[in-house]
Amino acid sequence: MIALVARSLGRVAAPLGALVAVLFGFQVALIAVAASFSRSGEFERLAQIVPAALRPALAPALTSFGSMAALGYFDAIIVLMVVGWAIYVATEPAADVESGLVDLVVARPVPRHRLITRSAVVSFGSTLALTLAMGIGTLTGLWLLAPPGVAWPEGRLLWLMISHLTLLSWCVGAAALAVSAWTRRRAAALAVVSIASMALYLVDSLGLWWSPMEMAARLTPFYYFHGGPLIAGTSDPAQNLTVLGIATIVALAVAYWRFETRDL
Amino acid sequence: MATPAIRFDALTKYYGPVVGVEALSLEVGQGEVFGFLGANGAGKTTTIRTLLDLLRPSSGSASVLGFDAQRQSLEVRRRVGYLPGEMPVYPELTGAGYLSFLAAIGPTAVSTTRLDSLFRRFDVSDLDLRRRMREYSHGMKRKLGIIQALMTDAPVLVMDEPTSGLDPLMMEAFAETVDEIARAGRSTVFVSSHILSEVERLCQRIGLIRAGRLVAVRTLSELRASAPRRVTVTFSQPVCSEPLDACEIVTREPQRWVLDVEGPLGPLVASLSALPVADVQVAPFTLEETILRLMGEPHS
């Protein structure tokens, strides 16, 4: 198992390292921007210029230095980057089938489920590495750049942001693992899960602005991670994390079942 | 009676409406070198991949050394060294890294002495082993593939088109290795191929598969003995009598018959004695022609 995980990690080490650096750097840069706004007293004005439709999601993050430091965890691009990474790594079983590497591995006494476990470990582990790198980036930025006397974001808030983003990525990654346990082409698995994720993200965004879509939005994993309500303290983190965790477990179970029963 | 090394029992695999393999039953004894011969798409790879539980049969079963390929697949895979038909590689790994990885997930520790002797035999240098596999030629990848299949000294070796892409020297090195394995009698070798000369050089017994069905299983000596002969009879004047029923007529002209004859020639010679024969030429079929004939028949 260790050899399988090490091999998979070896294949993604370079892009993972680059992504860690980008996300770490972004968090540090965000603190620098927040420090600049704080020094020039722009936070109140900033919250007012956010369009009304986006206020529930974004405005709470733009009211203080502490809350802006958390913005980097739920910015759409950042969320989709982290989720996209989880999807890419989780489609490894399909890539193994496509390239024929599965023949070499499974022809040895390696149970099939280990390939799913390996990809889950690498997808979940590397996603956790990304979100932890973001957390370290935030703390580094705060230590280096926070103006004296401003309130830092609460540790609990940072922890909630990291845990929500991590679990959201795991949930989508597990879905990607399930799809890749079905397909013979990595590109097919990537396309299906990426397009579905984008569509679900849009459904969730529409649900924020338009109440008839809210019920549909509840069916998307993105519904369970909105940074604004977390900052404002109006969402239920335990419920969000439970829903995301259960969805992750269900998708993983489907992946194990399908890979065990399919032709390779 | 000893447990067969490999056994297929009415193995059938359909890909939707397409037949992969149908009702294939076959036994390969321990220590035997068996050739599985068929055209591209005949079902060789499907059969092999079912043996390793990479494919699940539609019906029937396969086993290795008495272990069921599906229900006891880990036991099967502990005992098999496998060379896939298409050699997959991790392009970013060096040759040494590739073999180390495969050894790490393999059933037993790989002896350095064994590896070194394989490197020497297949002319793989330290420099080759330090290069990344993305730089390897097809033949070099194939050599590494053969080495990874042989490195654990598995009791059953399953090799799908093993010499595809190898140069003649390496083909000979491979053949010598199989000869040694056969002489030692410790391992069974199951080689699939569409190249008759390869199978003829390596194997004691041959199974012929066509369109997913096993059409014949014979030893090489049986095949040679059963090979028909092509008999060309020239007459000094036109004849109107019929050749024997046991002969297959290839061409029939008034003064010349070309016949394919299986078995003894005595009855034909006797039937010709009353005719104005000017000349008789007898040419034996080559093994290749014999096999092509078998492959062309619906059943044998």
**Read out DSSP for B144-189?**
HHHHHHHTT--SEEEEESTTTT--HHHHHHHHHHHHHHHHHTS-EE
How distant is the alpha carbon of residue B294 from its chain centre? 14
**CA–CA distances in Å: residue A217 to residues A171, A191, A212, A247, B169:** 16, 21, 9, 15, 66
- Contacts of residues A19-22 at CB distance under 8 Å and 24 or more positions apart, as own/partner, are A19/A81, A19/A85, A19/A130, A20/A129, A20/A130, A20/A133, A22/A81
Confidence of residue B299 (pLDDT cuts 50, 70, 90): very low
The answer to whether the beta carbons of residues A129 and A86 sit under 8 Å apart is no
Interface test with B, best of A106, A108, A259 (most B CBs within 10 A): A108
Q: Which long-range contacts (CB under 8 A, 24 or more apart) does A96-101 make?
A: A97/A183, A97/A184, A97/A264, A98/A184, A98/A185, A98/A186, A99/B88, A100/B84, A100/B86, A100/B87, A100/B88, A101/B88, A101/B90
Chain B: residues touching A (Cβ < 8 Å): 49, 52-56, 74, 77-78, 80, 82, 84, 86-88, 90, 92-93, 101-102, 104-107, 148
Give the per-residue pLDDT at B300: 40
Q: Which residues pair with B12 in a beta bridge?
A: B59
Nearest-CA residue of chain B relative to A100? B88
CB of A14 less than 8 A from some CB of B: no
Choose between A52 and B266: higher pLDDT: B266
Which chain B residues have a beta carbon less than 8 Å from that of A115? none
Residue with the larger pLDDT of the pair A260 and B245 = A260
What is the sign of the dihedral through the CA atoms of A200, A206, A208 and A213? negative
Nearby residues of A190 by Cβ (< 8 Å), 6 or more positions away: A87, A88, A91, A176
Task: Show pLDDT as tens, one digit a residue, over chain A (264 residues).
Answer: 899 999 999 999 999 999 999 999 999 999 998 888 878 877 767 766 766 666 666 666 677 787 788 888 988 899 999 999 999 999 999 999 999 999 999 999 999 999 999 999 999 999 999 999 999 999 999 999 888 888 888 889 899 999 999 999 999 999 999 999 999 999 999 999 999 999 999 999 888 888 888 888 999 999 999 888 888 788 899 999 999 999 999 999 999 999 999 999
Q: Which tokens in the block code for residue B270? A: 């006797």
**CA proximity to A109, closest of B284, B76, B34:** B76
Contact B53 A104 (CB under 8 A): no
> CA-nearest residue of chain A to B78?
A109
- Which tokens in the block code for residue A58? 């974004």
Q: How far away is chain B from the Cα of A109, in angstroms, using its nearest Cα?
A: 5
Tell me if B80 and A107 make a contact (CB, 8 A cut-off): yes
- Percent of chain B residues past pLDDT 90, beyond the cut: 50
C-beta atoms of A3 and B88 within 8 A: no
Half-sphere exposure of A115 (CA within 13 A, CB side): 29
CB of A123 closer than 8 Å to CB of A86 = yes
Question: How many distinct structural domains can be found in chain A?
Answer: 1
The C-alpha atoms of residue B284 and residue B247 are separated, in whole angstroms, by 14
For position A7, what pLDDT does the model report? 92
Using CB atoms within 10 Å of the CB of residue A65, give its burial: 0 to 12 exposed, 13 to 18 middle, 19+ buried. buried
CB distance B53 to A106 below 8 Å: yes
Q: What is the pLDDT of residue B64?
A: 96
Average the pLDDT over B85-91 and give the result: 89
The model's pTM is: 0.83
Helix (H, G, I), strand (E, B) or coil at A194: helix
**Within 13 Å, how many C-alpha atoms sit on residue B212's CB side?**
15
Lowest mean pLDDT among A140-144, A229-233, B21-25, B143-147: A229-233
The mean pLDDT value for B254-270 works out to 84
Element housing B219 (H / E): strand B213-219
3 state DSSP class of B140 = helix
Identify the CA nearest to A157 among candidates A261, A32, A84, A67: A67
**Which tokens belong to A250?**
């269900």
Instruction: Examine the pLDDT at B139 and tell me if it is beyond 80.
Output: yes
User: What confidence score (pLDDT) does residue B55 get?
Assistant: 95
Q: Is the pLDDT of residue B194 over 90?
A: no
Is residue B28 pLDDT above 80, yes or no? Answer: yes
Chain B neighbors of A261, CB-CB under 8 A: 56
The token duo for B146 is: 């053969």
Beta bridge partner(s), residue B27: B7
Q: Which residue has the tokens 């808030």?
A: A157
How far is A101 from A93, CA to CA, in rounded Å? 10
Q: Pick the closest to residue B254 from B271, B276, B237 (CA basis).
A: B237
**What average pLDDT does range B191-195 have in this prediction?**
86
- CA within 13 Å, CB half, B48: 32
Range of the domain at A108: 2-261
SS3 letters across B73-99: HHHHHHCEEEECCCCCCCCCCEHHHHH
Distance CA A207, CA B108 (A): 57
In sequence order, what are the residues at sequence separation of 6 or more whose Cβ sits closer than 8 angstroms to the Cβ of residue B63? B4, B6, B7, B9, B69, B76
How many residues in total does chain B contain? 300
